[in-house]
Amino acid sequence: MANLTLNDPLFGTFVFYASVLAMKTLFMSIWTARYRLAKKIFSAPEDYKMHGEKVKPAGLVDEDIERVRRAHLNDLENILPFLITGFLFVLTDPNIVVAKWIFRVFTLARFSFTIGYLNGISVLRGFCGFLPSMLCNVVMTVMVMRKAFGNF
């Protein structure tokens, strides 16, 4: 059984990568706000008033802002399941080398996805980002389910 303290090498590794991914997700909000402020394109009418603008221009959409928002949404769709499944995965007492590599690959893949998405590089986004991170989540989920099924 895993020792859920930071002194446990597996749990400590999971906590490290989970923290890096949480910080990355938070940073995406800041990045979106940076673009909004620089371009004076806001999501709510009251934000225009606060920044000295009278009204929101009709139909105004900025591709840079939308690209960052979509990358952020994709992080939420993939990192949240990783955080939940990764924690459950640690509880299954997996092979520490395999588990550490899953955490590393997932983290690297999420950064690759974001870099690829923000720069319009489909290969980086898909093959180096989305597929490896999805595979890591699926592998952990299957391993957790197999362990849990044995306890039924």
Res 132: pLDDT = 96
Asked if 70 contacts 130 with a C-beta cutoff of 8 angstroms, the reply is no
The residue among 60, 62, 65, 63 whose CA lies nearest residue 35 is 65
**0.85 surpassed by pTM:** yes
For the chain, percent helix, then strand, then coil, each to nearest 5? 80, 0, 20
Q: pLDDT band for 55, please (50, 70, 90 cuts).
A: low
Q: pLDDT band for 1, please (50, 70, 90 cuts).
A: low
Q: Tell me what the mean pLDDT of segment 110-117 comes to.
A: 94
Q: Give the start-to-end residue ranges of the domains of the chain.
A: 9-150
Domain topology for 9-150: Four Helix Bundle (Hemerythrin (Met), subunit A) (1.20.120)
Q: pLDDT band for 53, please (50, 70, 90 cuts).
A: low
What is the pLDDT of the chain when averaged over all its residues? 89
Res 119: pLDDT = 92
